[in-house]
Amino acid sequence: MSDGSNVAEPTGLPSGVERRPFDGTERLATRGEPVYGEPTDGEWRAWNPNRSKLGAMLELGMDTGLAGGETVLYLGAAAGTTVSHVADFAGPTYAVEFAARPTRELLEAVDSRPRLFPLLKDARKPRTYAHVVEPVDILVQDVATRGQAAVAAANAQFLRADGRLLLAVKARSEDVTADPRSVFDDVRDELRDSYEVLASRRLDPYHDDHLGVVARPSGDR
Ligand code: SAM
C-alpha cells in the first residue's frame, strides 16, 4: 500500500478506455457523446483526470480491477462528468446523486446513454434504492461528504463477493483542520469492518488531499 504521488504509466485500462492523441497529447478517452466540454476526436472523448478522481486513479496506474462491461453503482454522480465515462465502457450503471440541480444536468448525459440510470437518492440511505439496484461488480464512490467510510459500508450490500470498491476520499470533507494523513488512516481503519483494502494512494497531482482506494468486500460484511 502506498500514499506516494509519483505519476506512473497507467496499467490495465478497461476495455473501452484507451490512451489516444488529442492535439498531440496522449490522453485517456472513452467513446461517447461529450458532457463537460472535453475535447473529442471522432467518437472518442478525452477523460480529464483533473476533473475525475476515477480518471486520476486510472491515470496513476492503480489496479482498479475494471475490465469493461461491469455492472456499476456510482455514488456521488453530480452532473455526470465521471459517471458518463463509466457508462461509456461499463454495463448497467446506476448513478446516485442527492442534489437536484446536478441531477438535472446529469439527465443530459443520460440521453445518449441507455445503460445509465440516474437515481435522485441519498447514498446514506441505501434502503431507498435497494429495490432498483441489482448486485453490482463495481461500487464507485465520490461523495465528498463527512462519513465517507460509513457510506461505503452502507452500500457494501450491493457489491458481489468478488466485486471492487473504487473510492475517492476527500480529507477536508471529514475534517478541514486535520492532517490528511491521519484522516486517510482513520478512513482505511473504518473501511476494514466491511472491506479488505487492496491498494490506496494519494491522487496528487490531479486532486489535492484526496486518497484513491481499491478494496474488495470482506467476508464479515
Ligand atoms: N463524482 C463526480 C464526478 O467525478 O463527476 C463529482 C462528485 S462531487 C465531488 C460530490 C457529489 O456528491 C456532489 O454532487 C454531492 O451533491 C454528492 N453527494 C454528497 N453527499 C451525498 C449523498 N449522501 N448522497 C448522494 N450524493 C451525495
In angstroms, the CA 134 to CA 198 distance is 24
- Which residue's CA is minimally distant from atom 19 of ligand 1? 143
Probe residue for ligand 1, chosen from 35, 143, 210 as the CB with the greatest number of ligand atoms within 8 Å:
143
Q: pLDDT band for 220, please (50, 70, 90 cuts).
A: low
Q: What is the DSSP secondary-structure string of 152-221?
A: HHHTGGGEEEEEEEEEEEEHHHH-SSS-HHHHHHHHHHHHTTTEEEEEEEE-TTTSTTEEEEEEEE-TT-
- CA 208 to mean position of chain CA atoms: 16
- State if residue 144 touches ligand 1 by the CB under 6 angstroms criterion: yes
- State if residue 97 touches ligand 1 by the CB under 6 angstroms criterion: yes
pLDDT, one tens digit per residue, over 79-131 is: 999 999 999 999 999 999 999 999 999 999 999 999 999 999 999 999 999 99
Q: Kindly list the structural domains of the chain, giving each domain's residue range(s) and its CATH number in brackets, ordered by start.
A: 17-217 (3.40.50.150)
In angstroms, the CA 77 to CA 139 distance is 12
In angstroms, the CA 139 to CA 151 distance is 11
Provide CB contacts within 8 A for 8, sequence distance 6+.
Answer: 60, 61
In angstroms, the CA 99 to CA 143 distance is 11
**Ligand 1, closest atom to CA 143?**
12
Q: pLDDT band for 12, please (50, 70, 90 cuts).
A: confident
Amino acid occupying residue 37: G
pLDDT, one tens digit per residue, over 127-179 is: 999 999 999 999 999 999 999 999 999 999 999 999 999 999 999 999 999 99
The predicted pLDDT at position 106 comes to 98
For the chain, what is the radius of gyration of the CA atoms? 16
Q: Is the full-model pTM beyond 0.75?
A: yes
The predicted pLDDT at position 88 comes to 98
Q: pLDDT band for 221, please (50, 70, 90 cuts).
A: low
The answer to whether residue 6 scores a pLDDT higher than 50 is no
- State if residue 105 touches ligand 1 by the CB under 6 angstroms criterion: no
The predicted pLDDT at position 11 comes to 56
Average pLDDT, the chain: 94
- State if residue 153 touches ligand 1 by the CB under 6 angstroms criterion: no
pLDDT, one tens digit per residue, over 171-199 is: 999 999 999 999 999 999 999 999 999 99
